[in-house]
Structure 1
Amino acid sequence: MEQIKQWTIDKPTLYSVVKYVLLVVFVFVLIQLVRRLLRKQVTDSTARYKSQKAIEIVGYVVLIFLTVSYFTGNIRDFTLAIGLFSAGVAITLQELILSIAGSLYIFVVKVYKPGDRIEINGIKGDVIDVDSIYTTMMEIGQWVSSDNYSGRIVKLSNSFVFKGPIYNYSSDFPFIWDEFNIPIKYGSNIELAKSIVIEIASKILSEYTANSKSQWQEVVNKYYIEDAQVDPTLAITLNDNWIQFNLRYIVDYKKRRLVKHILNEEIHKVVLETNREVELASTTLELIKIPELSVELKNNQTHANL
C-alpha cells in the first residue's frame, strides 16, 4: 500500500479507488477460500449448501458495510450514507435490490428450499439452487404430460416472491390429493364395483396414507385449517351414459403419475375377472330398434308429341 501511495502521491482520488478495489478483491478472495474449505470439510450435502450460501450473504453484507464506511470516512455517517445510497439506486437497481431482498426472505422465512417442487410466476418445477439473485428450477410439464421433467433449466429472479403466489408441493406436507373417474356400465353389480375400487386403492395407497396422517396432523396444529380425510374415498354420480365413480386419494407429490397408472391397471384387471358382473362403460351408440320403412316407387311416364 505504501508503494501504491508513493506512485499515486499526486493523485489522491486514484489512490482511494485503488485501495478500495484491493479491499473488495481481498474480501472476494477470502469468501472463496472459506467456501472451498467448507466444501472439503463438510460432508453433508444439505449443511454444505446452506453454509456456502450463508458465507455468500455475509460477504455481501461486509462489502456494503465496507463501501459505506470507506467512502464516508466515519461510521457515524452510516445511516445518512445508506439513505443517500438507497435514494440514488432505488430506480436503476430496483430489480436487483428486490432480488437480493427476495433471497434473504426465502432464506429466513423458508418459503422454499432446494429439493422442493414449486410453481411460481406460472412456472412449475423442482428447485435445484437458490442464490442471491436467482432461483434455478428444473422445469416440469409444458409439452410433456403430467409431472415429468421437460429438460429445461429455468432461472427465475428472486424478486418474484413479492409479486405473486408461490405454490409449494412439498413444504410442511409432502403429499397431494389426486383423483380420477371410472365409468361403470348401468346394470353392473355396484356394490361389487365399490368394493373392488376401495380395496385396491387401500392396498396400493396404504403406505402413503399411513405416512401422511401424522404429517397432516402437524399441519392442522400449525395452521388454522380443518382436519381432512386422507384415506381413499369414493363418490358416485349418475349421468346419462354411465355410473361415474370418482376416486380421491392422497399420494407422494413426485409419484402422482406412477400411482395413477398402477391404480388404473389393477382396477381394470380385477374388473375383467368378474365375468361381466362389473363392466366398464365407454362412449358408444346403441341402436335399440330400427323403425320400419315403407318405400313406394312410382314410375312416371312422359309422353312427348313429335
Structure 2
Amino acid sequence: MTEIEQLRDWINTNPFIWSIVKFMMILIVVLFCIQLLRRYLKKKITNTVIRYKAQKGIEILGYALLIILAIIYFSGTIKDFTIVIGLFTAGLAFTLQELILSVAGSVYIFLVKVYKPGDRIEINGIKGDVIDVDSIYTTMMEIGQWVSSDNYSGRIVKLSNAFVFKGPIYNYSQDFPFIWDEFNLPIRYGSDIDLAKSMIIKIASEVLSEYTTNSKAEWKSVVNKYYIEDAQIDPTLAISLTDNWIQFNLRYIVDFKKRRFIKDLLNDKIRMEIENTNGKIILASTTIELIKIPELKVNLGEDKKGQ
C-alpha cells in the first residue's frame, strides 16, 4: 500500500479530525489575509485616527468572518462539533478565566464606551493616556511615578481588560475634557487684601478665558446627560486666616492636558504683578520669632584662681 493510499484510508476512518485540519488551514489563510490588509491600510492611510480605526475595523470583521466560517463549516457534523465545543468550553472556564474576562472586558469597553484611545484614565492605580485597546489588553502611556505632575514617565503599560470589572476607572476626558485644579498663595498680614483679591481674579480670568468659555458649553451637556448639579465654571478665590499668613486658594477649570502649563503660567503672572505693587502685597513665608534668649553666665575670675 502506497503512502497516498494510507493517507486516504486514514482520512476515511477519521473524517472529523480531517475536518479540523482543513478548518485550521482555512483559519491560517484568513488570518494571513487580515494581516496583509492591515499592513496595506497602514501604508496607504496617513491620518493616524482614521488608520487606527480602519485597522481595528478589519480586525473585528476578520474575527466575525472566522466565527461565521466555523458555524458554516461544522454544520454538517454538528453533533461531534458540539461535543468538542462543550469539552473545550469546560476547560476554558477552569483554566482561562482571566483570558475570558479580558475578552469580555474588551466587549464591555467597546459597547459601553468606558474609554477609548486618546482618553486619559486611571485604572488599578496606574494613570496614563490610552494609546490602544485590543481584544485582551489596554495599552497606556504612563503618567507620573518618579516624574512630577502630569508628565509622561516614558513607560508603556499593558493592562488586562478584565480590570474594568474589578475596580473604579477614572476618566479625565470622557464627556467633559476639563478638570478643576487649584493652588494656594500665602499673603502676609498687613498687605492690601482687596487689591490682591482683585488682581488674582483678573489674571486668572484673562489666562483661563478660553477654557472657561469652552467648558461652559461642555458642562451644559454633562448636566443634561447626568443627574448632577450645576457647578461654578469661572475662577473662584477663597481666603482663610492662619497663624502665619492669609491663605488665598485659587480654584479654576483647565484642559486636562494643560494642567501643569497653566499652573506655571498663573504663578508666574501673579508673581510679576505682586512685584509691581511696590510692597502693597507681600508673599508670606514661615517665620520664627524668638521671645527670649536664655541667659549665659560666665565667671572668668574663678577659672583663673583654679589655674
Regarding TM over 0.5, the answer is yes
Counterpart residue identity of residue 270, structure 2:
I
Q: Which of the numbers 203, 206, 209 marks the counterpart of 2:209?
A: 206
Judge which range, 24-33 or 257-266, deviates more. 24-33
Could you say which residue in structure 1 is the equivalent of 2:140? 137
- Larger helix percent: 2
TM-score of the aligned structures, taking structure 1 as reference length: 0.87
> Distance in 1 between the 2:64 and 2:114 partners?
22
Aligned residues: 300
TM-score of the aligned structures, taking structure 2 as reference length: 0.87
Counterpart residue identity of residue 208, structure 2:
L
CA 286–170 in structure 1, closer or farther in 2 if over 3 Å, else same: same
> Distance in 2 between the 1:6 and 1:56 partners?
41
Q: Are 2:74 and 2:81, in contact at CA under 8 Å, matched by a contact in 1? A: no
SS of residue paired to 1:281: coil
Question: Deviation at 1:21?
Answer: 1.6
Q: Which of the numbers 89, 92, 111 marks the counterpart of 2:92?
A: 89
- Tell whether 2:280 aligns with 1:270: no
> Distance in 1 between the 2:271 and 2:181 partners?
19
> Distance in 2 between the 1:291 and 1:36 partners?
80
- RMSD (Å), alpha carbons: 3.0
Q: Which of the numbers 219, 223, 226 marks the counterpart of 1:220?
A: 223
Identity value in percent = 66
Q: Which of the numbers 19, 24, 30 marks the counterpart of 2:22?
A: 19
> Distance in 1 between the 2:97 and 2:294 partners?
80
Could you say which residue in structure 1 is the equivalent of 2:8? 9
> Distance in 2 between the 1:122 and 1:292 partners?
52
Q: Are 1:5 and 1:15, in contact at CA under 8 Å, matched by a contact in 2? A: no
- Map of 1:66-85 to 2, 5 A cutoff? 66-67=69-70, 70=73, 73-74=76-77, 85=88
Could you say which residue in structure 1 is the equivalent of 2:154? 151
> Distance in 2 between the 1:75 and 1:37 partners?
37
Question: Deviation at 1:29?
Answer: 2.2
Judge which range, 233-242 or 73-82, deviates more. 73-82
Deviations 1:10-53 (A, max 9, x none): 22345334212211112212322443454456554323322321
CA 68–80 in structure 1, closer or farther in 2 if over 3 Å, else same: farther
Judge which range, 66-75 or 114-123, deviates more. 66-75
Could you say which residue in structure 2 is the equivalent of 1:57? 60
